[in-house]
Structure 1
Amino acid sequence: MLKYITSILAFLVCSISVAQEDSEEITVVKEETAAVVKDTLLPGKDNYGLRIGLDLSKPIRMLLEKDYQGFEVVGDFRISKKFYLAAELGNETKTVDDDQLNFTTEGSYLKVGFDFNAYENWFGMQNSIFVGLRYGYSTHKQTLNSYRIYIDDTHLENPNNLEFAPGTEFSSLNAHWIEAVAGIKVELYTNIYLGFSLRLNRLISTKEPDNFQNLFIPGFNKVTTDNNVGAGFNYTISYSIPIYKKSKKKKEEEEEVE
């Protein structure tokens, strides 16, 4: 009789032990499942930071044009889901040789403004199809290398009163303009972006010497006598530096789920 009682007690102890182990395993699985569900339900976070790079069109142009030198640094900073603060800083030297004048323009420029990204990215992506606006300012100088006087000279207001000798330098010149921008930026590798944009400029005002004109403005490009509109483009490579993360709004999360 004692033998049977001992056997029954041993069986019960083993059963209780196994049941406890199974219970602990189920509890761990439930906790892990709950953690996964909790992580899944957490609001997504987007990277916000500074993207900085170079305009590759400038060195390419230097290879193709012997009378041109220039460089440009580009950058943007994400301030919301769609909007970026943007800026370009550069320097250009250009010698123009036409039938009447040979002159060299040298100076620096700054463009500041914003970009609006119209592309709907997947979570974690920051590709762009954007439009934007810039205010441009240039400070530069011009050197008159040589000239020929014609009666129908379109570059000079009064060709008979030209008193400048070859080598004359006109300094402290400047220009202000508005620039409309449209382009794309694509992430090639992690945080490395390739971009292309077209620019349409409208000259607002310019400081120029008496009896002479700003025929080339750094950052703006060529200027003609009867037209204050210019155009250009840039081809950029840039690197994004994540600075902080921002939780997505509930409405944005619901739109992605839909």
Structure 2
Amino acid sequence: MKKLYIYIFSISVFCLLASQATAQQDSISYKQRYGLMVNTDLIKLGRTALEENYKGFEVGADFRLTEKIWLSGELGADDYLFDEGNLMVNSTGAYFKAGGIYNFHTNWIGMDNFLFGGFRAGFATFSHTLEEFTVTVRDGFFPPDIRTPGTSFNNLNATWVEFMAGVRAEVFKNLYLGLNIQLKFLTTQSDLNNFDNLFVPGYNITNDTSSFGFGFGYTIHYLFPIYSKTIKQAIDN
């Protein structure tokens, strides 16, 4: 009986050591890049080149905090001519956004793509110039009453929060292309007498009936690796 106990104990120890060895064989280690990812919005650059009533740019950066979490921020400027036929307003200003993203995507070994959700808090400072407006003439006999006052509204500001979702794909080493959509909520804005903030830089066109807005971006990113961490990943048999 004593020999049987020794035999069972030996078999148990062997199985334990074998399972540990198998676990070691079923995982792989690789280096994951940590650093600063800089970007620009290609849509803003395209609009600047193709549209007469818009000029603007946006640059941003993401810093990898953990395997899944990145701290993020954007800085930009907009110059937009709001032209609705009977009203023409030129809005110019700059903005800053800060927040972060979380990468929900589980990459294959050696890949670093994104399926992410994120949050931003935004602040803009801007001005409006009322270039032209048309006074409504009920009697069609008289020509339209078009006025060009050139009135300016300066030192304006607004704040908002936005939630975003998007994808990024590494097309070449350290070079990424991304697409995102944003749901924005305007929290504060400067009040004007007998006039509305029709456009807020970084936020986009406002809505009289709602504080919600939308946006989207098509971005190009470059990662400057600063250091790397060794990651162990299990391999399915």
The normalised TM-score by structure 1 is 0.73
Match of 1:166 in 2: 149
Task: Name the structure 2 match of 1:51.
Answer: 37
Contact 1:174/1:208 (8 A) holds in 2? no
Aligned: 1:180 with 2:163: yes
- Partner of residue 105 from structure 2, selected from 95, 119, 122: 119
Deviation readout 1:80-137 (Å, 9 max, x if unpaired): 1111111111100000112432110000011111111111012332210111111111
Deviations 1:34-63 (A, max 9, x none): xxxxxxx99533110000021100121123
Structure showing greater radius of gyration is 1
Q: Which runs of 5+ in 1 are unaligned?
A: 1-40, 152-163
2:185 to 197, 202, 205: 202
Pair 1:109-2:89 in alignment: no
Give the counterpart letter for 2:74 in structure 1.
E
TM normalised by structure 2 equals 0.79
Distance across 1 between alignment mates of 2:124 and 2:61: 18
Give the drift of 1:219: 0.6
Cα RMSD of the aligned pairs, angstroms, is 2.4
| 1:54-73 → structure 2 map (5 Å cutoff) | 54-73=40-59
Give distance in 1, aligned partners of 2:126 and 2:75: 14
Identical aligned residues as a percent: 39
Structure 1 counterpart of 2:125: 139
Higher strand share: 2
2:233 aligns to what SS in structure 1?
Answer: helix
Equivalent residue number for residue 64 of structure 2 = 78
Decide whether the 8 Å contact of 2:87 with 2:132 is kept in 1: yes
Counterparts of 1:247 and 1:79, CA distance in 2: 15
Higher helix share: 1
How much does 1:167 deviate?
1.1
**How many residues are paired up?**
205
CA distances 1:220-248 after superposition (whole Å, capped 9, x unpaired): 11112112111111111111000111233
Answer whether contact 1:195 1:235 (CA < 8 A) is retained: yes
Partner Cα separation in structure 2 for residue 208 and residue 243 of structure 1: 45
Q: Is the 8 A contact 1:115 1:132 kept in 2?
A: yes
Which one scores higher on RCO, CA 8 angstroms, separation ≥ 6?
2
